[in-house]
């Protein structure tokens, strides 16, 4: 009797989910029938988040950093299903979708990613913008268009949170708005980029100062209204007029993950083994923002895109190993450094003994991300466009 193919369901189409699916489709399945692989995401597009900032400055186009899943998965055998996860039954490996659909599987991958909490301060939900998705970028773009076309002398923008996202946004928006921009970076802590190398932090300070961005450290946001932001600094409260607030603070897991019946930490991240399996459910894997992961040496790894990118290879291999009776591999994280955009044609790059800043770092950052794009076909399309664009600009 012919063996029935297994079914693998991957929830989430970010770096963790999509790259796991692509890797699974490439592994050899000669010993067992090739499994049916389905990936579920609420959006119809994959978003290369580290390049999302370039949409706001017009440096890149939507198709370059957010190709449709259907296009990326063409000829891979992986099926895409657009939907929102409402419930996950770990014991039965069953997924319930908001549209009433249901998916049963033999292996389940949890890669839903994080969300930006908007219930921390009054007014955030109603008046501030988050920055994680293409929709977020479009909404901010539309607001910037309205402000730019207005007769206002100054455009006042407050970016809350001085982590990577906040700093990169502040620099990009300062370059876009030019002399009309009045940028303010608000941070509750006593320094920007708390977890970044000193080289990057110093470069970021210089970039922000060169662009006239005000940096409010040790400052708490009390509330946000349609036209104002109220800040508290060492017992003194000040209400400042503002045209646009972008909220980059915090990270939380989706309700579908938070409500799971499994071991989780205080942030509701799922506790997983070094093989990326749930401790109580070895047929279920988790990676990315939602997972509390320790590598083969017992070290906790950060929840970053770089980590999810590397975890995807291990997740795919270990799923394949469980289906083909091979040994599983514990996750071994390789810190390759970090890259950060600090405005148009300006970036920093640190890692592997290299510290680089300026236009050359910006080129290196682009090329690195081009290499990490999900498929060779997309890499070639984007790479050709990057090469052709300067020539087309000269001809116009």
When mean pLDDT is compared across 61-65, 73-77, 303-307, the lowest value belongs to 303-307
- Confidence tier at 3 by pLDDT (50, 70, 90): confident
Interval 84-88 mean pLDDT = 94
**394 has a pLDDT exceeding 80:** no
**366 has a pLDDT exceeding 90:** yes
When mean pLDDT is compared across 157-166, 274-283, 384-393, the lowest value belongs to 384-393
Write down the CATH number for the domain with range 7-42+83-115+252-324: 3.50.50.60
- Confidence tier at 396 by pLDDT (50, 70, 90): low
Among 115, 117, 91, 113, residue whose Cα is nearest residue 104: 91
**pLDDT tens across 191-221, in order?**
999 988 899 999 999 999 999 999 999 999 9
- Confidence tier at 224 by pLDDT (50, 70, 90): very high
Interval 346-353 mean pLDDT = 89
- Residue 1: per-residue pLDDT: 44
Interval 150-179 mean pLDDT = 96
- Measured between alpha carbons, how far is 314 from 329 in angstroms, rounded to an integer? 7
pTM here is 0.93
- Residue 295: per-residue pLDDT: 86
- Indicate where the chain has its CATH 3.50.50.60 domain(s): 7-42+83-115+252-324, 124-247
**pLDDT tens across 70-79, in order?**
999 999 999 9
- Measured between alpha carbons, how far is 136 from 144 in angstroms, rounded to an integer? 12
State the angle between helix axes of 305-324 and 15-26 in degrees (0 to 180), rounded to the nearest 10. 40
- Residues facing 87 on adjacent strands: 96
Among 338, 288, 278, residue whose Cα is nearest residue 308: 288
Q: Is the CATH number 3.40.50.300 carried by domain 124-247?
A: no
- Residue 353: per-residue pLDDT: 83
Which phi and psi angles does 44 have, rounded to 5°?
-90, 0
- Confidence tier at 167 by pLDDT (50, 70, 90): very high
* Residue 176: both structure tokens together: 């876009």
Report the percent of the chain where pLDDT is more than 90: 82
- Residue 305: per-residue pLDDT: 87
Q: Are 128 and 267 in contact (CB under 8 A)?
A: no
Helix (H, G, I), strand (E, B) or coil at 111: coil
Average pLDDT of the chain to the nearest whole number: 93
CB count in 10 Å sphere of residue 39 = 27
Q: Taking the mean position of all CA atoms in its chain, how far away is CA 200? A: 20
């Amino acid at each position: 009797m012919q063996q029935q193919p297994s079914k693998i369901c991957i929830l989430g189409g970010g770096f963790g989910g999509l790259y796991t699916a692509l890797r699974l489709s490439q592994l050899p399945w000669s010993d067992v029938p090739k499994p049916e692989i389905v990936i579920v995401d609420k959006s119809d597009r994959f978003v290369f988040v580290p390049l999302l900032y370039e949409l706001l400055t017009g440096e890149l186009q939507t198709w370059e950093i957010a190709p449709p899943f259907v296009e990326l998965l063409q000829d891979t055998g992986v099926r895409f299903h657009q939907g929102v996860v409402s419930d996950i039954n770990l014991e039965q490996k069953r997924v319930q979708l908001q549209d009433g659909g249901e998916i049963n599987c033999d292996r389940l991958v949890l890669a839903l990613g994080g969300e930006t909490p908007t219930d921390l301060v009054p007014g955030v939900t109603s008046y501030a913008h988050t920055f994680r998705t293409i929709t977020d970028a479009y909404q901010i773009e539309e607001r910037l268009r309205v402000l730019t076309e207005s007769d206002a002398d100054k455009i006042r923008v407050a970016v809350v949170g001085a982590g990577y996202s906040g700093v990169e946004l502040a620099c990009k928006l300062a370059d876009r708005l030019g002399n009309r921009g009045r940028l303010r970076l608000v941070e509750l802590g006593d320094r920007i980029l708390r977890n970044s190398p000193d080289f990057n932090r110093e470069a970021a300070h210089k970039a922000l100062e060169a662009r006239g961005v005000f940096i409010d450290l040790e400052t708490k946001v009390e509330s946000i209204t349609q036209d104002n932001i109220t800040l508290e600094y060492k017992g003194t409260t000040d209400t400042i007029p503002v045209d646009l607030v972008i909220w980059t603070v915090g990270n939380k897991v989706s309700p579908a993950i938070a409500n799971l019946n499994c071991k989780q930490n205080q942030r509701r991240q799922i506790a997983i083994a070094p093989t990326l399996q749930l401790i109580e459910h070895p047929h279920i894997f988790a990676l990315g923002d939602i997972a509390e992961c320790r590598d083969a040496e017992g070290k906790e790894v950060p929840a970053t895109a770089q980590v999810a990118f590397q975890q995807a290879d291990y997740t795919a291999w270990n799923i394949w190993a469980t289906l083909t009776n091979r040994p599983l591999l514990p996750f071994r994280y390789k810190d390759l450094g970090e890259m950060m955009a600090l405005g148009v044609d300006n970036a920093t790059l640190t890692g592997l003994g290299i510290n680089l800043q300026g236009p050359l770092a910006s080129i290196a950052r682009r090329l690195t991300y081009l290499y990490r794009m999900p498929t060779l076909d997309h890499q070639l399309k984007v790479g050709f466009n990057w090469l052709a664009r300067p020539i087309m600009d000269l001809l116009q």
